[in-house]
Chain A
Amino acid sequence: MEHTSALERVLRGAALSAVVLFFMFPIFWIVLMSFQTNETILRSPPSMVFEPTLSNYVALITGRLETQAGSLDIDFMRNLMNSVILSVSSVALALVLGVPAAYAFARHKFRGSEDIAFTLLSFRFAPPLLVLLPLTLYFQQIGLADTYVGLVWVYQLICLPLILWIVRGYFEDISPDVEHAYRIAGHGWGATFMKIALPLAGPGIAAAGLLAFIFAWNNFIFALVLASADKQPVTVGALAFVTASGIQYGQIAAAVVLSIAPTLALALYAQRYLVEGLSLGAVKG
């Protein structure tokens, strides 16, 4: 290793910088844009020198958007709230349903168990538009269209398979002997699940929950079709900035910054768990 060190280190540093720059630049640019007015954003050539303004954030938080054509009400804070409600309840429901199911798939091999597990995973790779049209019709008939319950239900298509498969790998990594030992000590299977399996799979469950949260938060198409204005999350709500008098780039940028902030913070905080959780599940042979 020593003889390659100097050149290798320089090249590696350069390559890493390029990658970081490539991935971080859009985020950096968006943050810059969120402090500018539409005029400074659209000037040519673009420049990093500008007078920062908080007007975009003020407009979002107060809900009044002033444009040349007059003022406009926007529901951004409500959209943000909707995103939180939808994502949190979807992940919570998916955890409640998915973790015990993952345990069952990991520990009990029964006829067709692999098929059922795979069917659940296949929801992940079906294009959402495939199910959207029939779903919309059904939901309108049974009164679930444009309700939180209906949306949370549909969001299970995103969250449940993810949690099921990641957590299952985690449960499979726990030595069955540890659980046997707890039962032989005299504890029932329920207590064994709660006291042994759940804590030991904890990091994996956290990672899966986090990932599912991000996926749910970023979802666009289900909410676009199934929710009306007052149930829309931020991803759909941002469309409101495409107004009759032009596209409000400044506000869009500020909205993007506000809406990625929670997931970004979560992901940074739990980065270690995420990587560990995902790779551990994957390595399992």
Chain B
Amino acid sequence: MSGLTISNLTKRYKSDTVLDDISLEIAEGETLVLFGPSGAGKTVLLRCIAGAVDPEAGTIAIGGTDMTDVPPEGRGVGMAFQNFALFPHMTAFDNIASPLTARRFGREKIRSGVEAVAKLLKIDHVLSHAPKALSNGQKQRTALARALAAQPKMLLLDDPLRNVDAKLRFEMRLELPRLLSEQGATVIYVTQDYKEAMALADKIAVLVEGRIIQMGTPEDIYLRPADIRIAEQFGDPAINLLEVTPERDAQGNFVSLSKKRVELGPGYDSAVGRPCILGVRPEAIGFSGGAEAIEVTIEAETPFNEKTVTLATTKGGREILISRPAGTPAPASGTAGIDIDASAAVLFDQETGRRIEPGSDKTRARDAA
């Protein structure tokens, strides 16, 4: 059964189209991460699902039931707001209890329900405090606890880690996947942080200017970004983007970098002769002493715990980031040779920014097989 089905959802404010014909479907129990820059419409989409904002067109079905015209209190969703939106005049306990009192549970059931979820989120010691007396992390957990309290089938989390400090964000990023899978709910999680997106998502939907420009598994988005903007957003250090014009000779398609030949995978026939941008992940570049290696000058080296990132420039003045596991040997300064693993590279049309899919040759190869 589908957890959530949205069809042709459109929302306008005056003449401004905030959501433009959005359609998506999530299976029950799946976690969808809505990823995108600020102002892309992520929060508005979430509010449409919760019923706090009425869309101009389109339908929303939760668990197979059409909820488009159902008021928010009838949708049975749980939602955590980015700004927490705690009730300032109620204690943390009453905040968390609010979905339970709405369901007219008995006093004992409410108490045990609140305490269970508070324990899970480690806020059971501050239940008698007013929101004012809570730290940011505790507020965030209280807001999350309130969303979880009634064990809704559908959970909407609007960038819940945005306003908490780095340490807590890291902890919560580790805890949340377990927590969410225990709930068994369908989850929509809004974030601008690609690491959060990769860590939590079964599927990621990338929203830009009110449209979903790509939806797929985290691996899909990372390895086969549909758009140059997506490629830039995902990955740390950021993907290398090199202006190239693919060429063809008897051996196949290739691009020239510092007069050295870098093989493109098969299937880029359509790109030959067009100005393109080659996207290469820093971890797909390695140091090499071979004859085909591209000569670069090493500018700077930044060691992280698990990896070392090197900034180098080619003779043509292009900057290139190279990432390697920490502890592997590499020249620290001067000139060096690098190898580019083009099989993991992606090619974008320079004009439109869309990825050029190696489509036609793939079909040919399949036909041949």
Do B102 and A177 have beta carbons less than 8 Å apart? no
Q: Choose from B52, B98, B99 the contact partner of A180 (Cβ within 8 Å).
A: B52
User: Could you say which residues of chain B place their CB within 8 Å of the CB of A188?
Assistant: 71, 73
Q: Which of B18-26, B32-40, B83-91, B174-182 contacts A (4 or more CB under 8 A)?
A: B83-91
Q: Which of B55-63, B74-82, B165-173, B342-350 contacts A (4 or more CB under 8 A)?
A: B74-82
User: Could you say which residues of chain A place their CB within 8 Å of the CB of B98?
Assistant: 181-182, 185-187
* Apart from A180-B72, A187-B73, A187-B102, 7 more pairs, CB < 8 Å: A180-B79, A181-B79, A182-B98, A183-B52, A183-B71, A185-B102, A188-B71
B107 CB–A CB distance under 8 Å: no
Query: What is the 8 Å Cβ interface bit string for chain A, positions 167-206, against chain B (1 contact, 0 not)?
Result: 0000000011110111111111101000010011000000
When A177-B83, A200-B88 are in contact, do A184 and B52 touch as well, CB less than 8 Å?
yes
**Which residues A133-188 have CB closer than 8 A to chain B?**
175-178, 180-188
Do B79 and A183 have beta carbons less than 8 Å apart? no
Do B85 and A200 have beta carbons less than 8 Å apart? no
Q: Choose from B75, B87, B103 the contact partner of A181 (Cβ within 8 Å).
A: B87
Closest Cβ of chain A to B169, distance in Å, is: 21
Residues of B in contact with A, size category: 20 to 34
Do A180 and B89 have beta carbons less than 8 Å apart? no
Nearest neighbor of B74 in chain A, beta-carbon distance? A186
When A184-B78, A185-B146, A186-B99 are in contact, do A178 and B87 touch as well, CB less than 8 Å?
yes
In the complex, the 5 A-B pairs of residues with the closest C-beta atoms, listed nearest first: A186-B102, A177-B85, A180-B52, A185-B99, A183-B72
Closest Cβ of chain B to A25, distance in Å, is: 42
Q: Choose from A184, A196, A199 the contact partner of B77 (Cβ within 8 Å).
A: A184
Q: Choose from A177, A199, A200 the contact partner of B81 (Cβ within 8 Å).
A: A177
User: Could you say which residues of chain A place their CB within 8 Å of the CB of B86?
Assistant: 178, 181
User: Could you say which residues of chain A place their CB within 8 Å of the CB of B87?
Assistant: 178, 181-182, 196
Nearest neighbor of B150 in chain A, beta-carbon distance? A186
When A182-B98, A187-B73 are in contact, do A199 and B89 touch as well, CB less than 8 Å?
yes
B354 CB–A CB distance under 8 Å: no
How far is A252 from B51 in the complex, measured between Cα atoms in Å?
62
How far is A184 from B146 in the complex, measured between Cα atoms in Å?
10
User: Could you say which residues of chain B place their CB within 8 Å of the CB of A178?
Assistant: 85-88
Closest Cβ of chain A to B325, distance in Å, is: 44
Closest Cβ of chain A to B68, distance in Å, is: 16
How far is A275 from B76 in the complex, measured between Cα atoms in Å?
41
B50 CB–A CB distance under 8 Å: yes
How far is A182 from B79 in the complex, measured between Cα atoms in Å?
10
Q: Choose from A176, A177, A186, A200 the contact partner of B73 (Cβ within 8 Å).
A: A186
When A175-B83, A177-B81, A177-B83 are in contact, do A184 and B88 touch as well, CB less than 8 Å?
no
User: Could you say which residues of chain B place their CB within 8 Å of the CB of A191?
Assistant: 102
B47 CB–A CB distance under 8 Å: yes
Do B83 and A184 have beta carbons less than 8 Å apart? no
User: Could you say which residues of chain A place their CB within 8 Å of the CB of B146?
Assistant: 181, 185
Q: List 24 A-B contacts (CB under 8 A).
A: A175-B85, A176-B52, A177-B81, A177-B83, A177-B85, A178-B86, A180-B47, A180-B72, A180-B81, A180-B85, A181-B86, A182-B98, A183-B51, A183-B71, A184-B72, A184-B73, A184-B75, A184-B77, A185-B73, A185-B99, A186-B99, A186-B103, A186-B150, A188-B71
Q: Give the most central of A178, A181, A191: most B CB within 10 Å.
A: A181
How far is A177 from B82 in the complex, measured between Cα atoms in Å?
10
Nearest neighbor of A196 in chain B, beta-carbon distance? B87
Closest Cβ of chain B to A213, distance in Å, is: 24
User: Could you say which residues of chain A place their CB within 8 Å of the CB of B77?
Assistant: 184
